[in-house]
Each structure stands twice: as structure tokens, then as C-alpha cells.
Amino acid sequence: MFLTKFLTQRSLTPSYILFNISRALQYQTSTRKSTETYPKQNLKPKFDAINFEHTLKPYAEDLTLENQHEKLSNLILPLSNHSYDEQLQIKQDIIEQVFDQIGRAILWDKRVDSQVLKYVEFQQGKFCHVESIIPSPIIDHYRCKDDLSCGYGVDGQKTIGFYINPRNSKNFPNTLCIPPMHLKSMKSKHILTLKHFDQFLKQHPLSICENTNIFKKDQYWRSITLKSNEQNDLMMNVIVHPQSFSKNEIDQMKKDLLNYFIDGSGRECEINSIYFQTCAQNRCTSEEDPFELIYGNEFIYEIYNEKKFRISPESLLHVNKKAAELVYTSILEHAQIDENTIVLDIGSAIGIYSILASSIAKKVYAIDPVTLCIEDGKFNAKLNGCRDNIEWICGSAEVNLHRILKKIADLHGDHSRIVAIVNLSRYSLSNRMITILRSLPSIQRILYVSSKSDGQIMHNFYELAAGERSKLKQIGAPFIPTSIYPIDSLPHTTHAETIVNCVRV
């Protein structure tokens, strides 16, 4: 099947998805007779995002001291030279094209469930209906979380910023690091802190890791993460490679940080919390290598939809606070939660969806694989005086989902009304998880929340709508994406947050 072959390819952007599905569908429509069930295909995209972004993509060989900031802006914020109205129209076009082609891909596959075809036959227009994109309340300086890497700049000096790879690593082996001081999305306090961290690296005797994926001997400073709230309280997490350093030598690195940012010129950043983590792997969780608080408050706090939430070093939070509140409001509206509803919050993070739904729903099951996130969620529930109707589950949804659904059936019966909220910024659903969700008739609605459209997520939509692989294995009635609600949470980029309403047919 063409979709199966397509989904094995690596695809990282909505435009790449669109390009590959369109190409596959063109072949299929030329070899297979069309019917009225399958509407006519768009011949030309309204906005050719794949070629647009390709023309702007910089390479390390092309960088100079004069053009580096412009090149970085083209890479990180490719729409920054367009008016905001133009940006919204471009994103609307991309999302409409992607979901139009997703709908066609579902309908064209031979394994599509017959119930899907019956549903579409009686629908007026597209069954993947995209609503008008909701603008972000704030367009510039909105990012409350930034992950930056240490590296060498165009001038050969140590710095902090984003990597730009060479076009040909054999002829030009260096990956360059460009400081993001001129990006429209960066908050002024983050920019100030980065300027000081840049100065700290330049004057410090220890070397930096040139690339987070390739570690060499005697390279120490790796990356930092900055998190801030609307009140400009700032948390800085500093990650280093320990190499063969002793405890005393590691302690000296911590002292050097405090001497600069607390007692030295970096104190003007007014950092509220500094965490320190030693990590010899590509990425280390707090369970593998704990974050150590070396200065200030253990947490910072943020208000979302009139609820207060604490933020810890490993908390996953939305980068655009104002737009995130629109997403949370939209989720609660389209989930149609009432006092008889049971909510599955898959990828609960610090518990925002669970806590907001708790006051309405009968029961909430919050699932997340990160221990620190579950601890944050439990604390936030108590902080906001939530009802005792949230069950917090730390672990993989794939491992725990079957047990949870069986528990729901035992406690509440097979006729309970269940709504699943899947936060796809965390992880996608496996085929096994989809089979479990489809097997329980009580689940009538799944709300996907995602800011990306890679191959695995597109595969999720296909599996939710597909027919049974075998007559011997009943997987339940299908789900299809009927309505898509986009919210612009990342101005100046080609991405937006999409809420996909999947209903059982």
C-alpha cells in the first residue's frame, strides 16, 4: 500500500508530509478509478513551504560575521519578514493542505474501515474540516523556554546558541554555533542572560562541547535551558560533561558559575534559580543524573487559566504562555466534558489538562513517563484545591493504558463516557495503544494536541481509521479526524498548535 511505504520515510515538517502524500496520491489517482466518494485532488499547493524553507536554509560554509544573525533568523523564524496577517494565511494554507491530503490518504487505502466510507458519503464537504487559525495574543518576545547549546562561533570563539551544520562535512567539518540575540521570539531577559553566559564561557579556562551528539575528551560545558514566567522569574539549568573530573573539580565549576552570576557582572540577570547537572549521555533524565540546585528557589510558578502551577527543572511547559491558554480553553470546549465524563490525559506533564478538567469531570487519569512531572502534577493539584478525582500514573502509556481501561470498566461499567486527550508534543501513539483505545466502546472522542506533523503522527490517524487486519482480531470501530482547530503558538515560524478532534464512527 502506498501509505505504508510513505510512512516508512523520514518526514519532519508539514510541508514534507504534504509533498510526499501528494506525490503518492498522484500516482494512485493515475492508476485507480475515482468515484464520487473521493473528491477531486488539489493540483497545486497554495503555499510551497518545502521549497520556501529550502531556499532559506543556511549552511555553515555560508556564514560570515556580517550575515550570521540574518541566516539564523531564516532558519529558526522563516516567516519573520512577512506581515503577521501573511503568516497566518500561510499557516492556514499549510494545515488545510496537510489534512486534506490526510483525508484522501485514509479514503484511498484499501484497508479503510467501511464505517468511515459510510460516514464520509453522508457528509457535506471535507470530513477533515480545518477551522480558521486563531492568532497568538503575543507575536514577539514570547518564548518562555529556550534550549541553547555551547559551541564555536564564526569567529572561532566559544559561545552559546544554535548549531548550523555544514553542507558537506568532508570539505567543511565544523558545525558552527550562532548566538540568538537578534531573534524576534526571544524574551529580553533570556537575551541578557545569554549575553552574560557567552562572556562567562569566553573567560572560563575549561573548553566546551563542540557538538551535543559527539563528545570528545576534555570538553565540559554543554548546554543551558532557560525557563521564565510572566513575572520574569528566571530558572537556568546548566548541563556539563563530567569527563574524568573529581568531585572537587566539579564543585569548582559550580563555584565559578555562582561567582559570575551571583557575585559578578552576571548578577544583573537577576536569576532566581540555578540548577547544575552532569550528563555524559546525549540526554539525561533527573532519575539518571539529578539536577542539583546550587542557587535560589527550588521552583518558579506560572498562572495558566487562573490556576497556579509550579515549574521544576524537568517540567515541560509551552513556549508561548498566552497562546497556551487558548489551547487549554479550546481543549476543554471541544472535549465536551461533563459530570459523567472520564478523562484520559495521556502525556499529562505538570498536569494542566488534568487540573482544569478535574472541576468538571467525574474522574481523571493522568499518565506521564517522567517522575518529576508526576510529582509536579500532584503538587499542583493540591495547590489549586482540586477534587480528589485525579489518579496520577507514572510510566509509559503503552504499558499502563490497558490496565487503566480495565479498571475503568470494572469501576464505572462498559457504558462510561471517556474522552482521551493525547499531547503529541510529548510522544505519539503506538499501534498497540491505538488498538487498546479502539477496543473500548466508551471512548467516543480523542483530542490530539500537536505542533508537529511527522510521519509517526500521520500514521496514528491512519491506524485510528483503518479496518481490521484480521477477522480473528476485533479492534473496535474506527476514529476519524473530523475537525481541526489551529492556534498560532509559534509566530514567525511555519508551525502552529493543532487540536485534532477524532470521533468514533
**Considering only CA atoms, which of 346, 350, 347, 345 is closest in space to residue 376?**
350
SS3 content of the chain, % helix, strand, coil (to 5): 35, 25, 40
Mean of the pLDDT values across residues 351-369? Answer: 94
CB 449 within 8 A of CB 497: yes
Report residue 423 as a C-alpha cell.
499531547
Known binding positions for S-adenosyl-L-methionine: 368, 423
Q: Tell me the per-residue pLDDT of 208-256, one tens digit each, with 9 for 90 and over.
A: 988 756 677 889 999 999 999 999 999 999 999 999 999 999 999 999 9
Quick check: 32 pLDDT over 80? Answer: no
The residues that bridge with 239 in the sheet, in sequence order, are 223, 277
Q: CA 433, CA 369: separation in Å to the nearest integer? A: 15
Structure confidence at residue 406 as a pLDDT band (50, 70, 90): confident
Q: Which residues 6+ apart lie within 8 Å of 411 measured at CB?
A: none
The whole-angstrom separation of Cα 85 and Cα 450 is 22
Would you state the cell numbers that stand for residue 437, as one nine-digit string?
483505545
- Is the model's pLDDT at 347 over the cut of 50? yes
Instruction: For 369-384, write each residue's pLDDT tens digit.
Output: 888 889 999 999 999 9
- Which pLDDT value is given to residue 34? 37
pLDDT range class, residue 98, cuts 50, 70, 90: confident
> What's the CA gap between 430 and 147, in Å, rounded?
28
Q: Do you know the residue count of the chain? A: 505
Q: Give the model's pLDDT for residue 453.
A: 66
Q: Are 387 and 329 in contact (CB under 8 A)?
A: no
Angle value at C-alpha 178, between 174 and 181, nearest 5 degrees:
175
Greater model confidence, 503 or 23: 503
Let me know the angle formed at the C-alpha of 452 by 282 and 100, rounded to the nearest 5 degrees: 155
For 429-475, what is each residue's pLDDT tens digit?
Answer: 788 888 888 888 888 899 999 887 666 677 788 888 876 654 445 67
Per-residue model confidence as pLDDT tens digits over 254-266: 999 999 999 999 9
User: What letter represents residue 193's amino acid?
Assistant: T
> Is 445 in contact with 467 (CB distance < 8 Å)?
no
Task: Please name each of the domains of the chain with its CATH number.
Answer: 2-111 (no CATH), 129-134+317-504 (3.40.50.150), 145-304 (2.40.50.1070)
Q: CB neighbours of 279 closer than 8 A, spacing ≥ 6?
A: 222, 239, 240, 241, 242, 288, 289
321-324, Cβ contacts within 8 angstroms, sequence gap of 24 or more: 321/142, 321/144, 321/229, 321/230, 322/136, 322/137, 322/138, 322/142, 323/136, 323/137, 323/138, 323/142, 323/487, 323/488, 323/489, 323/497, 324/489
At 68, the amino acid letter reads Q
pLDDT digits (tens, 9 = 90+) for 165-214: 998 877 787 889 999 999 999 999 999 999 999 999 999 999 998 875 66
Q: Is the pLDDT of residue 321 over 50?
A: yes
Reading phi first (left if > 0) and then psi (alpha if -120 to 50, else beta), residue 319 is in alpha
Whether pLDDT at 393 is above 70: yes
Stronger pLDDT, 286 or 345, i.e. the higher one: 345
The mean pLDDT value of the chain amounts to 84
Closest by CA position to 127, among listed 505, 492, 495, 482: 482
238-244-250 Cα angle (round to 5) = 40
